[in-house]
Amino acid sequence: MKSRRQNISRRNTRSMTFVNGRGNTLPISIELVMEIFSWLPAKSIARCRCVSKLWNAVLRRPDFTELYLTRSYSDRPQLLFAFRDEKENGFVFFSLQHPQNPVENSSFAVATSRFTHSLKLYDIVGISNGFVLLRGIKRNPPGVLSLLFNPSTGQSLLLPEVKPVVKPDCYMIGLTKFMGYDPVKKQFKVLSANMSGVCGDYERYDEFQVLTLGIGKPSWRMVECCLPHYPKSGGICINGVFYYLGAADRGFDQSIMVVCIDLTSEKFSFLNFSGPMQGATTLINYNGKLGSLMSKYFYGRDTSFELWVLDDLEKKEWSKHVFVLYPPVWQHAVEGATLRFFGVVGTNEFVFVPAFLYKPFYVFYYNVEKNTVVRVGVRGMKGFYGDSVDDFSNHVENVELIRAF
């Protein structure tokens, strides 16, 4: 009983210190203060950190970071657009908040966050929990490097370079990376797949390494994979499992499969596509489950699209869903445009965007329950008209400071 009273006393003392310490009078608990701050945008959080050491300490607490991220997922999911800036050898990011109950032809200004670096960045290879992983070319000596970037804070971290293990009679010819978040250990993990060749005829990824962020100085370590394979582009992290498409070889008759990596155990598993699923090659997050679309591109003349959903990972059970687009509404809204699937908002809205930035630029929201299509105009991205659009759905603001890793 005495120990319990001492613990309660310590908690009350900490609370009183926060209320009255150093001239900062906030007659409310720390928990309520964090709740209030969690409703502010990321740029406001950055300003508030500069008010005092006390505010900075509160806003850098791990429990506040987790609260803010949770609120961003539930109340502030965004669309993230990225454009290559060749002049500055970097990217320009634009974010758009998902509109609440959008009406047709509504216009929304977008926020911009500029990022440049001395590396010539040529690819975005991963996005998770508000962070973006970029791959770049190192000039001297030549090599491939990776950069972790937070569009909400503008911070970046250059990751250590992978040192591949060269085997006898093999040579290293490539490198690819994926990034995901482990919600159990609350850590970001980056996967590197090294591709080697034997006698110049056969190429495969047979060496896999993992980099963990959040446990001191990051370093690469080997992980075992029982099946050498060729990773395809793209990938998605859902509830601590990272999924990407792979093939056993690079021939024309290759069989496509889904490679699954449990980020907590770092174990690989594989899901084979068969029969009608062979064409389902666009992975998405559908209501917290892995989904695979038959096509990434849609047209004004399309009347339906198919989606396969992984209902049980252990049993490897899939279910087929067919979504019928009401032709008059769909064709009137799209007006013959070629659209690219963007993602799913909430539980019932599919998002489509044009593959290139044109004026005017529209985002299309298809509600599968109401069978309606809403076209939302987007402004604020001038200077990149005609450029291709890299887009990501359900992006969130994360106020975690990268140097805290």
Q: Where along the chain do its domains lie?
A: 2-68, 77-404
pLDDT in tens, 294-353: 777 777 667 778 888 999 988 888 898 888 877 666 666 666 667 888 788 766 788 888
- The predicted structure's pLDDT at residue 265: 93
Burial pattern 93-129, b for ≥16 Cβ within 10 A else e, equals bbbbebeeebeeeeebebbebebebebebebbbbbbb
User: How far apart are alpha carbons 261 and 180 in whole angstroms?
Assistant: 10
pLDDT in tens, 111-125: 666 676 666 777 888
Cβ atoms of residues 347 and 287 within 8 Å: yes
- The predicted structure's pLDDT at residue 4: 42
- The predicted structure's pLDDT at residue 247: 80
- The predicted structure's pLDDT at residue 18: 45
Q: What does DSSP say about strands 131-138 and 111-115: parallel, antiparallel, or unpaired? A: unpaired
- Name every residue whose Cβ is closer than 8 Å to that of residue 50 and which is 6 or more positions away in sequence: 56
Phi, psi (deg, nearest 5) at residue 316: 60, 45
Residue 86 pLDDT more than 70?
yes
Q: What does DSSP say about strands 241-247 and 230-231: parallel, antiparallel, or unpaired? A: antiparallel
- The predicted structure's pLDDT at residue 166: 56
pLDDT in tens, 144-186: 778 888 888 888 888 888 765 555 555 454 566 788 989 888 8
- The predicted structure's pLDDT at residue 395: 83
* Residue (of 236, 212, 91, 235) closest to 159 by Cα position: 212
Binned at pLDDT 50, 70 and 90, residue 24 comes out as low
Mean pLDDT, rounded, for 60-85:
84
User: How far apart are alpha carbons 380 and 302 in whole angstroms?
Assistant: 30
pLDDT in tens, 204-253: 666 788 989 877 777 888 888 888 787 876 788 999 999 988 887 655 55
Q: What is the CATH number of domain 77-404?
A: 2.120.10.30
Phi, psi (deg, nearest 5) at residue 99: -70, 145
Mean pLDDT, rounded, for 273-297:
80
pTM over cut 0.75 = yes
Residue 69 pLDDT more than 50?
yes
Mean pLDDT, rounded, for 13-30:
53
User: How far apart are alpha carbons 137 and 274 in whole angstroms?
Assistant: 37
Residue 405 pLDDT more than 60?
no
Question: In the chain, what percentage of residues exceed pLDDT 70?
Answer: 73
Mean pLDDT taken over the chain: 76
